[in-house]
Each structure stands twice: as structure tokens, then as C-alpha cells.
Amino acid sequence: MAGLTHFDGKGDAHMVDVSDKEVTARVAVAEGHIRMAPQTFDIIAEGRAKKGDVLSVARLAGIMGAKKTPDLIPLCHPLPVTRVAVDLTLDPDLPGIRIEGTVKTTGQTGVEMEALTAVSVAALTVYDMAKAVDRAMEIGGIRVVLKDGGKSGRYEAT
């Protein structure tokens, strides 16, 4: 299992030992989107969703999701997250919502999983809040676009 850090020499899954890693400032940014019918887009953009303010609820859910990442992903380290920001932008060209999650910490391992979880949970929340009018919504494009800090340094998606 060369290159896969969550497997030991026997191929068994294990939590990576980060105790010898240096404590550094770390940041990760992830993005994604949820595509929907134009009518659904209009309902959300105009604040007419029966369940309330879709964007505000999804933002809060994304923040909460980032903080709960080690409870959801079995081998993630619990980290002292120092910042979580989730931005949701209405995009009539999709039509839908673009989502960006930024997570920061000072620690011995990165926060890519927390940023990905923030975006995923925000998108799922939009789906949940609007599914009564559009079950065909599509979540996609979820990926890390920036990672900085630690031994491996900086990664930026192209």
C-alpha cells in the first residue's frame, strides 16, 4: 500500500501518527456546487423557501460539519479548528449555488478533510431545504483548491 498513509505495513487501516510532526499554521480551502432547476434557484434567491433562509442555514451547517469531521471520518484527527468560513454564492449560470469552505488551525496535521466536509454538509443542507420543490438537484465539483502549511507545503488546484 505504498503512498497510502492510513495503512500500515500489513495493509491494515490505522490512524497516522503525527506526534513527531511540527506544529505549524495550516489552512485548506475546498469548493463545490449544487445545481438546481431555475425555479428552485429563484425560490432560494428570493427567500421564498418554506423552511427559511436556505443560505444562512447551509452556512451554519457547513461550519458545524467542519467541527464534527473527526466524528464522521473514522481516521481523522480531532483538531483545534481556529477558523471556519463557508461562503455560498448564488450563480444563475449553473443555475445553483457555489460553495467555498475555508478552515484554519495551528497543529500537526492539515484541515483538508474539514474544508471538504464543510462544503459537503452545506450542499446537503441546501438539498434538504429545497428537496420539496426539486428532488433532481445535483451536488458536484467538491475538491480541495488550496492547502498550505506543514511539511508538504502549499498545494493549489489549477
From the candidates 42, 128, 134, 148, give the one annotated as an active-site residue: 128
Helix (H, G, I), strand (E, B) or coil at 28: strand
One-letter amino acid of 51 = K
List Cβ neighbours of 14 (8 Å cut-off, separation of 6 or more): 6, 7, 8, 75
Whether 128 is a known active-site residue: answer yes
- Strand locations in the chain, DSSP E? 24-35, 81-91, 96-107, 138-148, 155-156
Give the residue among 112, 138, 119 at the shortest CA–CA distance from 35.
138
List Cβ neighbours of 8 (8 Å cut-off, separation of 6 or more): 14
For the annotated catalytic residues, the residue numbers are 128
